[in-house]
Structures are given as structure tokens and as C-alpha cells.
A and B are shown apart, each in its own frame.
Chain A
């Protein structure tokens, strides 16, 4: 049985990726971008994860949630509407299938609307990752801007 341990968060922000085409309202210009979330389970099998985050003081907002690249996590993660209503983002997904990723893998793609100054960093306050036996495992979350 895997030992249960709390996770460490690594937050690598690859900024500077260009935001996509802009739309505009009378009040404020807005643009849309994509933010990929990757988790590195450090060699352990990743069978599920939950993340709590926000965009800090930015008014960026999620406008779509897509699944990841790994066959186990292609289904779009679920979000907690209550958290969203409170200004936070809580996402979670359980792996499907037998092939659980052990290395760095994209688990979600967030479609985000934000102001043209750039996609703000997602401030992750909590990540829980679980292994094949349901115990927590060490993992890190990485953010990448733009589509894969």
C-alpha cells in the first residue's frame, strides 16, 4: 500500500503565450485563451485528483472545461458550482480505464475569458491526487498556456 502523504505544489507558469482573437463589448475588451493543467504524480499511478484555485484579483473566468490528453482523463473534469459562485475554482476528475498515467500528463484544459493584458496565473491553493489504491500521492500541478 502506498504511503499516504500530502502533496507538494509546483506551480510553473509559462506566461507570455499570446491570447487568441479578441472580442469586445462596449465596456471592456475581452479575449479568450486556453490554459492546460498538468499533473506530475512523480511515478505513482494517478487515478484521481481535485484542485482548488482562483485567478487572484483578476476578473478572468472559466468559460469551458475540457478533459486532458491521457486516455484516463479525457472526460471533462467536474467543477463545484458552489465554489464557482463564491469566486473559487474547484475541479475534480476520476480516471477512467485501466491505463493510469505515472508521468506528467494533461488532466484538464481550461477555456478562459480575460482582459487583453494576458492570461493571469491560476493560483492553486490545494491539490489532492490519489493513486490506484485510493490513497493520496505526491503530485505537482503545472500550468501551460495555449492548446497542446
Chain B
């Protein structure tokens, strides 16, 4: 009887709204899923699931779950932001947000309810099933924030009807209000306008000329308008806004609303804006960064142009510590002085610095590009006169990783604040704006500061294969398709705040990805790149039991949003353990501690224990990662199981080499899988640990739906191709990097770079072993291919430099360093040992600058300034 009743209720879908789905004539789209008891995993029957659009009112759809915990809500065709509320007797209520983009139909959810007699967790309780779905869940906290802002807007509307632009969902084009905000000094507040979707999705747009702070993002301000009526906002909202130290701006509707000509240009999905307190615009010598990437196949050729200017009254030197991809082969450098373009010269690092210093002291305009880490660079520009501008341009190549069906182009935009253990030999300090450091330091803007520096990014994508999907993860971007295999991607004009990585993923038909070799000849010398794709047959094999060691970074930089995301990932990982597996959980910050003395069997009770342990974790303190490494690798190895160590961290440390050395000396048979958690993680560390640990990496953004965890299990669920050997045939391959392939994991091709001497046609044979079976793959190669691929020599040289750096992290060898220096000089590459210097010797400035202005940057999105930036600034 209960079953029948439940089914009927679900089918009827009790609509609380006045309008039914059918009346709305919304085309087939639905949300379905199951509601489960978080503790037992059993279905929850008669839970009420309500789905409401956050923006613009509208109907509420609801359903009751059936005996299997299943529910289905029909006819949600519109992209946007939704509130999902779930109630059931004996359970905490769930209220979270759901952002639907161009999502699949149906959207499939798993909702876990916590028993009312337990403390309510802070994590999202809704998960989206299905890889790469493009659906994102907003935590309850974020949802509350959005709702509070909407309330504020409604009150403003109420006070002065028609003055403030209401929220406009992207799928309902309209012309938004303009940000005209002017802070009301007396009350310290202005107003809100916004579209919820914008808050959640980077697809949001205020106005191009707007200037607002949205979840820590600062947008450019234009002409101030009228003051706001702060009285329209509730005390509660004011208090919350003040606490967040955000800035509230008014958005005022100006004139009638013409229909937008181009939906992509429609600012329709605005954002919350605004707030209180004094937020100072800090004059900085970096005005703009322009990034232009051309991707052919899996190689990116990227031009980066940085425009420095002097807003001060004295001649200055500008200094900017900035990130680039950790594997970037930076091979060209130009300084632009007015119309004149001066090519920089590669020199030994110390020599370049001396040249630069002499030029600076003598009053010449000069610039110096140094590498501090493979992914951190320092740009110095000397003698910029007041009111003048100098531009520098650099170029790099890098090979794009292919992970789990997608290529990824990532351009980092901010260096995260590093923690340096006491005694670090070569730290990268995280200091407040204006603070002085004796080391390389990244200078950070305080939460109440912003700069006018913004970024343009354009990507010309020629995948060479049919593109199935292009997705910008962290930013709003416009994608224009040009045929089946090409696309042009632009960063949206309203989303140019450099406080998170620009990450573009594109999917091509997976069966089109095959092992292959690209070649390039320069005279008698040949260079090649080989993408080695694991055989599909691996997916039919099951792995042996595994000893999983999960290591969570619980330091201060993880505090808050990253920690919650990390814990959610951990929970998902624990729930996917299998009988026969064992596991351990280690947390570290200043010190390390663990779930228990030894790994435990993955029984239901132990998994529950693990979940409880994870629930209690918090982020604070320094990042003594070495403690985590020791705790994870120093206990005896279970001979019956493969040991897999998974780190979950943002990687914000300055002693990467020490960590690499520790991993190398303790690794044994362990495999390391690193999860980078956050929107601007230290990929040099994450990738380096996985490389040394013969494992793989995955990245979990702050808004991600944790697909990376599922992909992790997809990799480890099947045996890797091991004992890999390569017969290069008549290729005459030499100096191939990486030198060894220990394992080839499902879904994770390996890219090899090398040189060759042969000619003609040949076949490369790859042999390995998986699940007790021998596996052989053959790859045909045309060594006489005429097409020039200028990137291959540079990518090869960069690979060997990385190989040398890895070895130097664990052994002292002067000949290695000498080899690295020679490579970098011969291939024009910036490295640990080489820098670019450019001097304009044509004239000197009137008064050489003695003042150095560093370029302060915002802390990365989701990272707290107070727990990461140390020292006293201006």
C-alpha cells in the first residue's frame, strides 16, 4: 500500500506553485535521483523534494520519494540557479543550490540526509551523478548568502520601485542595471542587484564598466552615481556584509530595456554586488595582462603581454611575481618601449641579474625575467618614468595533459600564498602589500583593497579532431565554434579578475585518441613527441585489493571553502572503498596525526569511523607537509596490497624540493595520486609528487562536483600496464624523457619527448603487463614527415630540464647542473639557471628610479588572507 501511494505521489508531482509544469510548456528536462540516509545508505521514503528557481519567482516543483528513495521532478528546462530543499521526518533539512548550465537530461542527484539526532554537517549533501555533467551544487552557506542578497535587493526595490534592476537569468535576456554605485559614506553601504546564477557561475556578468566585489572578485568601477539608501537593507544583511568586508554597490536601471542584440553580450546574469566598508583602489604598476594562446592538437603556443605603467610621481622599478604553467617552455622575451621592440637575451641567471642591476642603476630602461620555481616567475622592469608605460612580452610552449577524456589548457593567474617551514633555504614569502622581504615574495592585497589590474585571455583551439565539448571551468568565457575541430574562446569582459586559474577543457571523441608519434627535423637532428595511450583492454580487468592512504592538508590556507571541498572529496572516496581494501586517513598541518595506528579494513563500520574522523577535521596552522609525507610513507607496507597514497592539498608550500626529496627517499613500491584542491593550486608540487610517486594527478575546483574522485577510482579500479618497455624500431630514438614508464593508467596517456636519428617508415612496439597478461601495442611512425613542429625541440629540452631538476632534488651532481645550464642556453629557455634580460641602451631616464613597487595581487579565490599572509604591510 505504502509503495503504491509513494509511486502515485511521485508521479503526480505535487505542485505547490500556481502553475503546473504542463502549463509552462517547458520542454523535456528533468531532475531525478535518490534520497538516502547518510549513515546507513538506505533509501529514505516520503522525503519531500522541492525545486525552486531562485531568480524571478516562478513555480515550485516538488515530489515525494518512493520506497527506493527515488524521485523525479519534470520539466525544468531552463538553465540557471535553483534551490533544492529536501525534508523528511527524523532528518535535518537540506537546502542547497543547483546551477544548471547546458546540462544533460536528466540531471541525476544523490541526496544524503543526516539524522536529526546528529550534528548537522557543513558539507554539501547533494551530489551530482555522472561525469562532466556541467551541473554544480552550491553549499547551503552559499545558497543562504545568495538568498540574503536577494532579500536586500527586494527591499531596495520595495523602497524605490523600478530604480534597481532585478535579477535577470541568462536565459531570459534583458538589459540589466548598470553599476552606478557610490558608497554611502555615512552608512557605509550601497545596494545589491543580481542574478543568482551569476553568483554561482562564472557566467555572471555585471556590466563591463561595473566595479564590484563578488565573492572576493573585484570588478572595475566606472562613474559613480547616486548614493544608496542603506535603510533599505536589514541590519542582519548589513552586519553580514560588513563582516565579509565586501563592498556593496548600487546597480541602477537606466532607461528602457532594449532587447540585446547578442545574448552573449547580455549582462543578464548579474551578480550580487556591493557592500560596505572602505575598499581602497590601490595604484599598482601592472595595468593589464593579455594572454593569447593557439592550441594545435595538444600543444599550446602562448603569448603573454604584461603592461606596466607608472602611476606615481617618481621613476620606479616594477616587480611582479606571477605564475605560469609548471611545464612552460619559456623561449622568447621582448620589451616594448613605445613603438620600439627589444628582444631580450638569454643569459646565465647571475649574469643576467648583474646586467640588469647595472642598467637599472645607470638609468636605462631594462627588464629581467627570472624563474623562481618552474611555475613562479619574477618580472622586473627598471626605470619607468612617471606617466610612462613599458610592456613585456613572453612566449612559451607547453603540452596539454589529457586526463579522463579531456585535454586541459590551464593558465594560472595568481600565485597562492606559500608556507615556508622554518629554515627553508629558498622560500617564497607571502607578505602584505608593501611589506619588505629578503626573499622572493608575493605581495597580497588585503581584503579591503583592490587593484585595477585585469586580464584578457583568448584561445584559438584547433584540436585536429572533432570537438565534442569545450568548457571553461572557473571563468565566464565565450566559445565560438568554427567547424567541427576549431573554436575561439574569449574570456568574458566582465570576468577578468586574476584570482583563480583559467582552465579550459575540451573533449574529443575518446575513440579518436590513439597512440601516435609527431616528428620534427632540424637538419640532421630529429625530435619527436609520442603520446602513449593505455590499451582499452585494461578497463576489462579488475585490480587487486589496495591499501589506500588518504593524506589531507589541514593547514590554514585550506581553511574554509577548500577544506569543505576536500572533506567532501574524502567522504566520496571513503564510500567507494571495496571489501578487501584497507585504508588510513592522515591529517597534517604543523604536525600529523592519523585515524589509527595502522590502516584498517574497509568494513562498513570502519568507513563510518573514517567519515566521523573527516567530519571533525579543520584547517589551521602551517603546512608542514614533510610530516604528512613521513606519516604516509614511513609505516610498514602491507605485502598483500598495493599501497596508494592520495594527497589532498592546495600545495601552498615553498619547500617543494624538500618534499620531492622526501618522497623519492621513502617511496618504495608506493604509488602517489595527488589531488589539487582549489582554484589556483600549486601544480608544480602536485604534478611533481605524482611524477616521483609514479602515479597521477587530479584537480578539484572549489565549485567542482567531485568527478575527480570518481575518476581516481576509475584509474585504480583497473590494473595499470606495468613493466612497460619500448622497442623504437628503426627510429634510433635517444634521450627520451621520461626515461622510465613505471605504470600506464587507464585514462591517463603518457607523453614522451625524445630525439631520433633514423629515417623512413618504422613501427614502434610497446610491451607491458597487466593483470598477469602480456600486452603489446604497435605504433606506425613516418620519420620523414615534412611538417615542421617548432615546439618539439623546446618541449624535449624542457622535459630533460625537468628530469634534471627531479634528479637534483635528490642528489648533488654538478655535471647535471652544467647539463641543465647548457640545455637552457642552447634552446633559449628560462630555467633555474638562466634568465632573460633586455636593456634599452639608447637613452637614460632623467632621474633613475630608486623605488621598487611590487605588484600586489589578490589572494586566490576561496583562500583566507588572515590565515595565509604574514607580516606587516603598509
Contacts and interface: CB of A to CB of B under 8 A. Distances in A.
B766 interface: no
A30 interface: yes
B362 A32 contact: yes
B763 interface: no
Contacts of A79: 343, 345
B341 A66 contact: yes
A64 B358 contact: no
B838 A63 contact: yes
A40 interface: no
Contact of A64 (B346, B826, B840): B840
A113 B346 contact: no
B105 interface: no
B346 A81 contact: yes
Contacts of A63: 345, 355, 359, 366, 837-839, 841
Interface string A127-145: 0000000000000000000
Contacts of B839: 32, 63-64, 111, 113
Interface centre among B354, B355, B841 (most CB of A within 10 A): B841
B665 interface: no
A51 B258 CA distance: 61
B725 interface: no
Interface in A81-139: 81-82, 84-85, 109, 111-113
B841 A64 contact: yes
A34 B345 CA distance: 15
Interface centre among A24, A32, A78 (most CB of B within 10 A): A32
B826 A82 contact: yes
Interface string A1-35: 00000000000000000001111110000111110
Interface centre among B335, B341, B343, B822 (most CB of A within 10 A): B343
A111 B343 CA distance: 10
A113 B844 contact: no
Interface in B350-371: 354-355, 357-364, 366
Contacts of A74: 341
Contacts of A147: 842-843
Given A63-B838, A65-B343, A84-B346, A32 B843 contact: no
Query: What is the interface of chain B mostly: helix, strand, loop, or mixed?
Result: strand
A147 B335 CA distance: 17
Interface residues of B, number: 33
B396 to A, nearest CB: 15
Query: What is the interface of chain A mostly: helix, strand, loop, or mixed?
Result: strand
Contacts of B595: none
Contacts of A22: 362
B616 interface: no
A113 B361 CA distance: 14
A37 interface: no
B828 A32 contact: no
A64 B343 contact: yes
A77 interface: yes
A76 B840 contact: no
B334 interface: yes
B838 A64 contact: yes
B827 interface: yes
A126 B838 CA distance: 25
A108 to B, nearest CB: 10
Nearest to A112: B841
Contact of B359 (A32, A61, A82): A32
25 contacts: A20-B362, A23-B362, A24-B358, A25-B358, A31-B362, A32-B359, A32-B364, A32-B841, A33-B841, A34-B842, A63-B359, A63-B839, A63-B841, A64-B335, A65-B342, A66-B340, A76-B343, A77-B343, A78-B343, A81-B828, A84-B346, A111-B342, A111-B839, A113-B358, A147-B843
Interface of B: 334-335, 340-346, 354-355, 357-364, 366, 822, 825-828, 837-844
Going nearest first, the 4 A-B pairs with the smallest beta carbon separation are A23-B358, A23-B362, A32-B841, A76-B343
